[in-house]
Amino acid sequence: MSHERDGLVAMLSVSLDRGAGEPLVRQLYRLLRELILTQRLAAGAKLPSTRDLSRDLGVSRTVTLDAFGQLAAEGFLESRRGAGHFVAGLPFRSSEREPAAPHIADAEMIPSVWSASGRPFDPAWQAADLFPGQAWTRMLGRGWRRHQPAVLERHWGGLPALREALAQHLHALRGIALSPAEVMITAGNTDVTSLLARTFGRGGGGSGHVWIEDPGLGTTRQVFEREGLTVIPIPVDSEGLQVAEGERLSPDAAIALVTPTRQFPLGMPLSLPRRLALLNWARQSVAIVVDDDYDGEIRFTWRPLRSLATLDPAARVLTLGSFSKLTYSGLRLGYAAGPADLIARLIECRRKSFALVPTSAQAALAEFITTGAFARHLRALRTHLTRRRKLLVEMLQSDADDLVEILPQEVGMHLSVCLRPELAELWTDVALAEKGRAAGLTLLPLSPQYVRADARHGFLLGYAGWREEEMRPAIHELVALLRTAAGD
C-alpha cells in the first residue's frame, strides 16, 4: 500500500505547461521518467489510469497513452492486463545515495524520440542531413499551385493526386496493381492502427482478436488494447511468425498484423512457406492480414520483396507504409493500400471521427513522387545508409564480436544486436541502456518488445541520422561501455 500511496503523492507534482514550446506528450514523458529515475516512483508503484490522468491534467488521452507507451517501450513501465501500468523493477544500487532530481536544463538533454537532436543510436532518428530541403521547398509551392482547389476541400481518404501517385509508386516498387480507390492516406502508424481496430474489431463485426508478433512493436499492441481488442501474441522464429501457433491460439482472429519484409525488432523476413500458410489461413477464416512494411524501401541486397498482396489475390491484405522515416518525422504521412471495399470502410471510419489528415503536405508529397524527386532521394538514402550501416557492422564485428551478436538483416534503418550470454548474465539491456544514456548514447532495449516469449536482451541500434565521422566515436563509446560492463 505504501507504494501506491507514495506513487499518488509523487504524481501530484506532475503538471504540464501549455505555454512552453515543448510538446505536452514530451513534457509528461520527461516528468514521469524523472520520477522513476529518482525513485520518487518506486518499483511496483501503480500509476493512475491513462483516462484518469488525462482528466486530471486536462489533456487528450492520446497524450497519456503515448507517454506511457514510450516509457513501457524503454522498460520503465510494465503493463499488466486488466490491472494497469506499474513502475518496473530497475537495477538501482541501494548502496548509492538517491540521486538528486535533475535540473530542468539537464532534463532537456534526456534523449527520446521527441528530442530536437538525436543521439546515436536512436532508431527513431531519420537521416535528416540527407533530406533534399530545397527540392521539398519547391514541391510545397508546386503542390499548392497545381492542387489548390483540391487542397481546400475535405478528403477523408486523402488528396486524390497523392492517392493516384501512390498507386503508381507501389506498383513500380512492390508489384501491387492498385487503383487510387485502393489507397488511403493516413497520419502514421498510430492513426491507421486505431482505424483498423475500430473498423474491423468487435464494433465492425469481427471476433475482437488480433494476432501480433512476439516480440513486436509495443505501441501497436497498446493501440489495439486501447480500442478494446484482445491481443494474441504469436511467437516468431528464424522464419518469422509461427502461423501454426497462431491458428492454435486463436483460429478465429479478425486481424493478423505482421512485418514480413523485416520482422520488428529481430529483422528476419517471413519465409515463403509461412507467407503462403498465413494467406491460406486468412482466406479460409475471412481474416484481414495487415502487412506493415515500415522501412522496406531501404534494402541492401537484391530487390525489395514483393508484397504479400501479390501472392494470393483472393486473400484480404492491407499494406501499410510510412513516409516519415524516409523524409522527416514532422511529415506524419503514411498509407494503407488494399481491396477497395476495405479501404472504403476505413475511410468511412475516418469520416465519422472527423479527423482529417492535413492536405497541404499531401500536395507537396504528390509532386515529390510524380516528378521523380522521391525516387532520387531513395537512391541517395540507400547509398549513404549502406556506408553508415557497413561502418557500424564492421566496427562491432572487429571490436565487440565477443560481446554482441549481430542478427541477420538486409533491410531497414537500424541494426538489431543481442548481448552474448556472458554479458547478458551480468547486465540486462535496460540497465545497459541507462548506462548508455549517461554516456550520451541512446540505446533502445530489445527485451521490452517481448510479451510472453522468452526475451532476448540486446539493442536496436539506429545509424541513419549520423555521418560516418559522427558514428565512429559513438561506436567506440558503445564498445567501451560494453567492455566496462563485461569487466574487461
Identify which of 486, 423, 414, 483 has the alpha carbon closest to the alpha carbon of residue 456: 423
pLDDT score of 8? 55
pLDDT score of 10? 65
Q: What is the pLDDT of residues 332-385, one digit of tens each?
A: 999 999 999 999 999 999 999 888 999 999 999 999 999 999 989 988 898 899
Q: What is the pLDDT of residues 279-288, one digit of tens each?
A: 999 999 999 9
Residues 155 and 7 in one domain: no
- Residue 128 inside a domain? The answer is no
Segment 245-259 shows an average pLDDT of 96
Which one of 217-226, 237-246, 259-268, 294-303 scores highest in mean pLDDT? 237-246
Mean pLDDT of the chain: 87
Residues 58/94, Cβ–Cβ less than 8 Å: no
Using the predicted structure, report yes or no on whether residue 291 has a pLDDT greater than 50: yes
Using the predicted structure, report yes or no on whether residue 393 has a pLDDT greater than 90: yes
- Residue 105 inside a domain? The answer is no
Residues 283 and 362 in one domain: yes
- Residue 110 inside a domain? The answer is no
- Residue 50 inside a domain? The answer is yes
According to DSSP, the β-strands at 458-462 and 444-445 are antiparallel
Domain with 165, as residue range(s), is: 133-371
pLDDT score of 304? 53
Using the predicted structure, report yes or no on whether residue 223 has a pLDDT greater than 50: yes
Residues 182 and 42 in one domain: no
Dist CA 305 CA 175 (whole Å): 9
pLDDT score of 191? 93
Residues 311 and 381 in one domain: no
Q: C-alpha distances in angstroms, 70 versus 25, 168, 218?
A: 10, 35, 9
Q: Which amino acid is at 288?
A: I
CATH code where residue 405 lies = 3.90.1150.10
Joined grid coordinates for residue 230: 484482445
Domain end among 328, 352, 371: 371
Residues 471/463, Cβ–Cβ less than 8 Å: yes
Segment 114-125 shows an average pLDDT of 74
Residues 337/184, Cβ–Cβ less than 8 Å: yes
pLDDT score of 9? 57
pLDDT score of 232? 97
Residues 73 and 160 in one domain: no
- Residue 118 inside a domain? The answer is no
Using the predicted structure, report yes or no on whether residue 196 has a pLDDT greater than 50: yes
pLDDT score of 115? 45
What would the DSSP string read from start to end of 401-451?
Answer: TTTEEEPP--BSSEEEEEE-HHHHTT--HHHHHHHHHHTT---EESGGG-S
Residue for grid cell 491458428: 247
Using the predicted structure, report yes or no on whether residue 112 has a pLDDT greater than 70: no
Residues 299 and 150 in one domain: yes
pLDDT score of 52? 84
Residues 98/38, Cβ–Cβ less than 8 Å: yes
Identify which of 347, 417, 401, 382 has the alpha carbon closest to the alpha carbon of residue 156: 347
Residues 224 and 286 in one domain: yes
CATH code where residue 61 lies = 1.10.10.10
- Residue 295 inside a domain? The answer is yes
pLDDT band, very low/low/confident/very high, at 100 (cuts 50, 70, 90) = very low
6-15, 20-29, 108-117, 477-486: range with lowest mean pLDDT: 108-117
Domain end among 71, 92, 113: 92
Joined grid coordinates for residue 391: 561502418
The torsion of the CA quartet 226, 194, 246, 271, rounded to 10 degrees, works out to -140
pLDDT score of 293? 86
In the chain, % of residues over pLDDT 90: 56
Residue for grid cell 483498423: 196
Compare 244 and 174 and report the one with higher pLDDT: 244
Segment 433-439 shows an average pLDDT of 93
Identify which of 233, 234, 317, 303 has the alpha carbon closest to the alpha carbon of residue 275: 317
Using the predicted structure, report yes or no on whether residue 421 has a pLDDT greater than 80: yes
For the chain, report the end-to-end CA distance as a whole number of angstroms: 42
Using the predicted structure, report yes or no on whether residue 93 has a pLDDT greater than 80: no
Count CA atoms within 13 Å of residue 481 on its CB side.
24
pLDDT band, very low/low/confident/very high, at 54 (cuts 50, 70, 90) = confident
Using the predicted structure, report yes or no on whether residue 50 has a pLDDT greater than 60: yes
Residues 192 and 51 in one domain: no
Residues 388 and 344 in one domain: no
Phi (first) and psi of residue 480, to 5 degrees: -60, -40
Domain count, the chain: 3
Domain end among 371, 386, 403: 371
- Residue 349 inside a domain? The answer is yes
Q: Strands of 218-354 (E only): list them.
A: 230-237, 240-241, 255-258, 288-292, 316-322, 334-337
Residues 203 and 88 in one domain: no
Residues 188 and 288 in one domain: yes
71-85, 106-120, 130-144, 195-209: range with lowest mean pLDDT: 106-120
Using the predicted structure, report yes or no on whether residue 6 has a pLDDT greater than 60: no
CATH code where residue 242 lies = 3.40.640.10
- Residue 386 inside a domain? The answer is yes
Rounded to 5°, the CA angle 26-32-38 comes to 130
Residues 385 and 315 in one domain: no
Using the predicted structure, report yes or no on whether residue 316 has a pLDDT greater than 90: yes
Phi (first) and psi of residue 309, to 5 degrees: -65, -20
Dist CA 480 CA 267 (whole Å): 25
Dist CA 434 CA 109 (whole Å): 14
Using the predicted structure, report yes or no on whether residue 35 has a pLDDT greater than 80: yes
Dist CA 254 CA 341 (whole Å): 16
pLDDT band, very low/low/confident/very high, at 97 (cuts 50, 70, 90) = very low
